[in-house]
Structure formats: C-alpha cells, structure tokens
Homo-oligomer: A and B are copies of this chain.
Amino acid sequence: MALTQQYIEQIRQCTLFASLTDAELNRVASHGQVVEWGAGQTVFSQGEPCHQFYLVQRGMIKLYRISVDGTEKVMDLAGPNQSFAESAMFDGKYPLHATAIEPSTVFAFDCKDFMTQMHDNVELCFRLMLSMSQRLHGMINEIDRLTLHSGTQRLAEYLLEQVPEGVMQSPCIRLLVPKLVIASRLGIQPETFSRIMARLRSDGMIETHNDTILLKDLGALRCLAACTG
C-alpha cells in the first residue's frame, strides 16, 4: 500500500528523518510503502537481497539469527518508531531474519531512492551515520553484557530498562513480548529465565502476575545489575 500523507508526521518522529524538509520527506514517502504483517510472518530472511529498509509503526518485529541445529538467537526487537535494516543497504543483503511476533504495521522505504537522496543531502548521511554509530555502540554494550555479566545480571538490567524515565520507586512494568523471546534476547534458556525470576521473587525484589511485574526494590535490582552478583 502506498505511504500516504497521514503517516508523514509519524515518520518525522524517527530521528533518522527528523532533519528532512517537507519536500524531502514527501519524496522519501513517495518511494515508501505501508505493509501489514501478521504474527509469525516473515519480513525478510537472512541472506536475501536488500531493497528496502523499515520503520515500525505499530506492533513488534523480531530480528534474529538461526544456528545450524535450529536454535534461535534474538538479536534485537524493534517496536513502534524504531527503524531496522538501514545498514543492510550498503551490504546488499540482510544479515539476519526479521519476523513479526504480533500483528504489525511497518513502513518500508526504498534503498535505492534513499541512497540517491543521501547523495543530494549530506545532512541525511550524517543522520544515518549517527544512527549507525549508536547501533554500533549498542552492540558493544551487548557483547559486554554477554561476556562480562551473568544471566541474572542481564535479566535485572533488562527489567530496569523497561522502567519509564522519571519513575522513582516500585514501578510496575509489562513484558511486551513472550518470556521465551526475552530469554533468547538475553542469551539464556526459557527455563533459566523462569528460575531467575523465581529467585528474584523469593528474594523480595519483584512481584509477578503473568506479564506484569512490580519492581519492589529498585535499589537491590540496580545493585544486582551493576555489581558482581
């Protein structure tokens, strides 16, 4: 489906497009599409030639790799207002799989057009380079966590990341994706995830009701995440 005017303002929210003029944004949009994906549908597969990159409007996209024995590692989760696969433009093919884990609306932008637009607009290049550098540093942090932190620490960090800005004490958070997926994201097994949660519960740090989690002791969680433990 064509990317109509009604979505323009929403696209501008994404920092990648924030600096564009109305005319430029319209041009990007004119080469874009709105696509709907059902839960479990694949947006693209690893190795596939890359002609588009994406911005999530609604829903959740899982970005992941699969090993030879079928095990899946979730590399990232893209929710509303988050873009993905921009860097694949330069490689020509996607470095991982992407599938929707719930009904999702996604904006798809044409790589070729975006590249020519970057040629005419250095500012846009800088936007993309900033975005890529941030993603790169995010990856460094990811490797840091995977190698230097324990499963418990990573889970505590994840819970704390879900807390909205400015909340001071005992915030209540919701897990936006199945625990199975979070476990893979954190590099642990679902069983281990469940066990760590049980321990945090019995230690009085959290209270749980399905996907809703009350963080009773932020201080203890922060210590767990930061310190050796």
Contact A133 B87 (CB under 8 A): yes
A139 / chain B contacts, CB cutoff of 8 Å? 136, 139-140, 142-143
Indicate if A119 sits at the interface (CB-CB under 8 A): yes
A75 / chain B contacts, CB cutoff of 8 Å? 140, 143-144
- Count of chain copies: 2
Taken together as a complex, chains A and B put the C-alpha atoms of A89 and B88 apart, in Å, by 21
Contact A227 B68 (CB under 8 A): yes
Contact B128 A129 (CB under 8 A): yes
Indicate if A169 sits at the interface (CB-CB under 8 A): no
Indicate if A91 sits at the interface (CB-CB under 8 A): yes
Contact A133 B67 (CB under 8 A): no
Within 8 A of B (CB), among A129-188: 129-130, 132-137, 139-144, 146-149, 187
Contact A133 B68 (CB under 8 A): no
Given the known interface contacts A68-B227, A118-B125, A129-B90, the answer about A73 and B134 at a Cβ–Cβ threshold of 8 Å is no
Interface string of A105-139 (1 = CB under 8 A from B): 00000000000001100100110111011111101
Indicate if A228 sits at the interface (CB-CB under 8 A): yes
Determine chain A's interface SS by DSSP, over half rule: helix
Nearest neighbor of A69 in chain B, beta-carbon distance: B228
Indicate if A214 sits at the interface (CB-CB under 8 A): no
Within 8 A of B (CB), among A24-56: none
Q: Which among A88, A140, A142, A149 has the highest number of chain B CB atoms within 10 Å?
A: A140
Within 8 A of B (CB), among A173-226: 187, 226
A226 / chain B contacts, CB cutoff of 8 Å? 68
A132 / chain B contacts, CB cutoff of 8 Å? 87, 129, 132-133, 136
Given the known interface contacts A122-B118, A140-B65, A226-B68, the answer about A133 and B96 at a Cβ–Cβ threshold of 8 Å is no
Taken together as a complex, chains A and B put the C-alpha atoms of A137 and B122 apart, in Å, by 24
- Distance from A115 Cβ to chain B, minimum over Cβ atoms (Å): 8
